[in-house]
Structure 1
């Protein structure tokens, strides 16, 4: 097990540091400190509402007292470049013998200054978003899985697709099913230890990468496979990744994830989100020629709402769409699983 210090300088919050948030909540590795000088002296619990007494410190140097062995880049900014003010902290970590894990699009192992320092210190830089070699084109093999395949899809990026898949995997395993999680983004890979960095894979091979991962789990005897969604089908920037996921996974069912109250696409917030009804219709229509999967539930992210507001939003969505609705973290996924389990049994 690794002892992580997470670098999220100036960005440690639920939506700005989703890699940090996901790793703290789900990774089997231990987070011993978070670096964000703007919130130094607080605990993770005070900032996120979970995470306990993990300290937030001002610098990597300040984190060394907690004996970390790995520095994790805790943000996933649009464009995926290392922020200039992060560089000195990464170098400090390397000089003190820490490995570096990064999910950025910019490969730190190919940065001459950082790679030279890592070689001199005898540490490793893991660029999570580096695709594997031997990529293949999808051929529709996932149309014929024994396992029941569930894909989480969204109205927007950063809407809870990974969280939904992980919570359902855990819940189904607790019910005795062989449930698996397919990681398709940097945070999921850091949690699971394997997967594909889908948005870094050349376009022709994206669906093939998803298909390969689904078929690997199917061959191992999985009962149900939860595939982590990315982006949103109608998102002006990230729609192609979502389409590749749909065609690679060939899901039997989909779950729609939405941040309650969000009305425009991230990160620019200039393009309005379509109506939920149109989003559902579009997802279901696209795969009609294949397994014709339906949206079987709605998973709301209500992190910015009070309990009363969240419960009211959940009940409103249930009444409007006639589907099970939950917040996977706040209310749990039992209701969603109850809708899926009879289909898994078939």
Structure 2
């Protein structure tokens, strides 16, 4: 048996080869954790489990990811030597879907460690808990609430420049925009930390906190803690957004991140063409109004402005994308960028650097 994984930190655990569990739901928007891990940690993924799409490749379904196979059962992935099974879908529920349990038990009984991305604690199930003890494997419950203090606004004392990706809905590209900025800023010489606030960001970066698993009074403090950690040794920190201020289910998390991160700048994220929020189907109010809402709810100690709009334009032709992006630019007065379509966040990072200089110049004028 391999070394005791209890002695490994999360960064070491996520560096192991894994199989993604996305039974009945593998897709770009239907299993966003799986889709993100394929994009950013695809070198460690040996297979995806989804019996409905077995026989296809990840490339067939997502349009990226290459020849990673999709299989129907855990046992079919074992010849590829995974060490961990990652649940690749979050749920708007605290229940364990009944059809998942046989797959989870099969993984544990074959010696795979589990990374759990849902609110239900897997070891609360007696059968899974028994199997975990018998096999000596580790279960990382990413939604377990850590012990964190109340927000004390310590971020205001940092020299690090803080960027926060907010947006119009959940599952629209806030994490992707943050990760693209993180990669590009580091690539071009600006040491930048990534502050993960959700389970997918944690699995990609190896650190962070799932803020939606933290009691309400402590959410902003949890974000402050993550930002402080990500700031060490860095000039910038990019804070992953969650939910949205206009979301009837996740507005509290969005506001806690905004106030815990105390950003200098915002990047507003939107899925191009979306008119209603996912799942709840509430109308998305005009983007200029949402941008103003986010800016107005930053705290007076550090008012922040939106520097750019980052869009997810999946499904749009290049011509349609350009037309819609130009319209959104006219409506908001801000540059519009799709950091995936454009092959990276180079333009977005250039915009942020100019925004930082411009706001710093304004601050000097005020001080004089």
TM-score range for the pair, normalised by the shorter chain length: over 0.9
Matching of residue 58 in structure 1 with residue 69 in structure 2: no
Give, in whole Å, the separation in 1 of the partners of 2:97 and 2:59: 25
Partner in structure 2 of residue 296 of structure 1: 307
For residue 249 of structure 2, give the secondary structure of its aligned residue in structure 1. Answer: coil
Partner in structure 2 of residue 15 of structure 1: 29
Give, in whole Å, the separation in 2 of the partners of 1:97 and 1:46: 29
For residue 151 of structure 1, give the secondary structure of its aligned residue in structure 2. Answer: strand
Give, in whole Å, the separation in 1 of the partners of 2:203 and 2:228: 21
Give, in whole Å, the separation in 2 of the partners of 1:11 and 1:28: 18
Measured after TM superposition, the shift of residue 217 of structure 1 is 3.0
Partner in structure 2 of residue 190 of structure 1: 203
For residue 102 of structure 2, give the secondary structure of its aligned residue in structure 1. Answer: helix
Q: Which moved more, 1:164-173 or 1:303-312?
A: 303-312
Measured after TM superposition, the shift of residue 281 of structure 1 is 1.0
Give the root-mean-square deviation of aligned CA atoms. 1.4
Partner in structure 2 of residue 267 of structure 1: 279
For residue 86 of structure 1, give the secondary structure of its aligned residue in structure 2. Answer: helix
Give, in whole Å, the separation in 1 of the partners of 2:314 and 2:127: 39
Give, in whole Å, the separation in 2 of the partners of 1:130 and 1:29: 27
Partner in structure 1 of residue 85 of structure 2: 71
Give, in whole Å, the separation in 2 of the partners of 1:272 and 1:28: 35
Say whether the 8 Å CA contact 1:109–1:127 is kept in structure 2.
Answer: no
Measured after TM superposition, the shift of residue 344 of structure 1 is 4.5
Alignment map for 1:175-324 (pairs within 5 Å) = 175-218=188-231, 220-269=232-281, 271-287=282-298, 289-324=300-335
Partner in structure 1 of residue 44 of structure 2: 30
Partner in structure 1 of residue 145 of structure 2: 131
Q: Residues 94, 29 of structure 1: CA spacing in aligned structure 2 closer, same or farther, 3 A cutoff?
A: farther
Measured after TM superposition, the shift of residue 298 of structure 1 is 0.4
Partner in structure 2 of residue 96 of structure 1: 110
Q: Which moved more, 1:75-84 or 1:220-229?
A: 75-84
Give, in whole Å, the separation in 2 of the partners of 1:246 and 1:259: 20
Say whether the 8 Å CA contact 1:257–1:299 is kept in structure 2.
Answer: yes
Measured after TM superposition, the shift of residue 140 of structure 1 is 1.5
Say whether the 8 Å CA contact 2:313–2:338 is kept in structure 1.
Answer: yes
For residue 353 of structure 2, give the secondary structure of its aligned residue in structure 1. Answer: helix
Partner in structure 1 of residue 168 of structure 2: 155
For residue 274 of structure 1, give the secondary structure of its aligned residue in structure 2. Answer: coil
Give, in whole Å, the separation in 2 of the partners of 1:305 and 1:88: 39
Q: Residues 209, 50 of structure 1: CA spacing in aligned structure 2 closer, same or farther, 3 A cutoff?
A: same
Say whether the 8 Å CA contact 1:211–1:249 is kept in structure 2.
Answer: yes
Partner in structure 2 of residue 338 of structure 1: 350
For residue 72 of structure 1, give the secondary structure of its aligned residue in structure 2. Answer: strand
Give, in whole Å, the separation in 2 of the partners of 1:249 and 1:268: 27
Structure 1 residue ranges, 4+ long, deviating more than 6 angstroms after superposition: none
Partner in structure 2 of residue 142 of structure 1: 155
Say whether the 8 Å CA contact 1:27–1:192 is kept in structure 2.
Answer: no
For residue 256 of structure 1, give the secondary structure of its aligned residue in structure 2. Answer: strand
Query: Which structure 2 residue ranges, 5 or more long, are not aligned?
Result: 1-14, 361-368
Say whether the 8 Å CA contact 2:288–2:331 is kept in structure 1.
Answer: no
Say whether the 8 Å CA contact 1:6–1:34 is kept in structure 2.
Answer: yes
Give, in whole Å, the separation in 2 of the partners of 1:115 and 1:28: 29
1:296-340 CA distance string (max 9 Å, x none): 100111112222222222222223222121111111322221121
1:97-151 CA distance string (max 9 Å, x none): 1111111101112322111101111211111111222x20002221232111000
For residue 27 of structure 1, give the secondary structure of its aligned residue in structure 2. Answer: helix
Measured after TM superposition, the shift of residue 80 of structure 1 is 4.3
Say whether the 8 Å CA contact 1:155–1:279 is kept in structure 2.
Answer: yes
Give, in whole Å, the separation in 1 of the partners of 2:118 and 2:125: 12
Give, in whole Å, the separation in 2 of the partners of 1:262 and 1:113: 42
